[in-house]
Amino acid sequence: MNDVIVVASGKGGTGKSTVCVGLAVALVKQNKRVLLIDCDCGMRGLDLMLDVEQEILFDCADAVCGNCKPAEAVYRSKNLEELYLMAAPFDSDNEISPSVFKQLVDELKAHYDYVIIDSPAGIGSGFVTAAAPADRALIVTIAEPTSLRGAIKIRRKLIDLNIQNIRLVINRFERKHFEELDCYRDLDEVIDISGTQLIALIPMDFRLSSIIQNGLSGQSWCPAMNIFDCLAKRVEGYIVPLAFRG
């Protein structure tokens, strides 16, 4: 299939990296070979989440500059076979051009069922680079006005970049908080305002956060992980219900 998915958001901290890892893990469980590319140059984090930070010698900037072969900048996750990572450069002075990044991903994608690209927040040049090779996009938002405004902006930018296949992930959802916020009639209103079809609703769950932040170590599991299994099925094109409906 060789699908390239960019995970983006207007506002920072909505859960892009968490969704990248959760989705990648779920796809691997469904026997897919997955490459995660951290495109958050200067603010990388997926190496920590996959527990390979000590192994990284080369990153995607090295691969595009020819400091190494592309395959030499790909590291296998310690805890999951078939899950691979290409890290972002540690320093932000290495800006990568969209066309060069696209060329790199086009070369790599033949070896994987899915390439998932973690984008920096916002609609700046880092996002444009991250989105350049993508066939489709997941926009991650929180159900609150500032985050939702960011989701609308990023959707417009993705369409400008000719990415039409866009789905919405509402993350860190908590019914009580949503009701107290009192900004929206219901979740349907949030989805309508975003103008983007929902693909997953993920609850606020600190166990999920700790499993993903701790390098997926051990056999840790929490109910929110099931949501990523459903998200992966939906990404694959199966019609399955949302695992969590708020």
Ligand X SMILES: Nc1ncnc2c1ncn2[C@@H]1O[C@H](COP(=O)(O)OP(=O)(O)OP(=O)(O)O)[C@@H](O)[C@H]1O
What span, in angstroms and rounded, lies between the C-alpha atoms of 198 and 170? 8
| Binding residues for Mg ion restricted to 17-76, rule: CB under 5 A | 17
Burial of 82 (0-12, 13-18, 19+ CB in 10 A): middle
Q: Under the criterion CB under 6 A, does residue 38 sit at the interface with ligand X?
A: no
Q: Under the criterion CB under 6 A, does residue 205 sit at the interface with ligand X?
A: yes
Kindly tell me which of 11 and 16 has the beta carbon lying closer to Mg ion: 16
Minimum CB distance to ligand X, residue 86 (Å): 16
How far from the centroid of its chain's Cα atoms is residue 206's Cα? 18
With contact defined as beta carbons under 8 Å apart, do 184 and 143 qualify? yes
What is the DSSP secondary-structure string of 73-118? G-EE-SS-TTEEEEPPPSSTT----HHHHHHHHHHHGGG-SEEEEE
Name the one range near ligand X by CB under 6 A: 29-37, 90-98, 100-108, 205-213: 205-213
Name the one range near ligand X by CB under 6 A: 12-20, 59-67, 80-88, 148-156: 12-20
Task: Quote the crossing angle between the two packed helices 206-213 and 16-29, to the nearest 10°.
Answer: 80
DSSP state of 4: E
Number of residues near ligand X (by CB under 6 A): 19
Q: Under the criterion CB under 6 A, does residue 202 sit at the interface with ligand X?
A: yes
| Binding residues for Mg ion restricted to 129-188, rule: CB under 5 A | none
With contact defined as beta carbons under 8 Å apart, do 11 and 146 qualify? yes
Minimum CB distance to ligand X, residue 40 (Å): 5
Residue nearest to Mg ion (CB): 17
- Which residue ranges make up the site for ligand X (CB under 6 A)? 9, 12-18, 40, 121, 171-172, 202, 204-206, 208-209, 213
- Which residue ranges make up the site for Mg ion (CB under 5 A)? 16-17
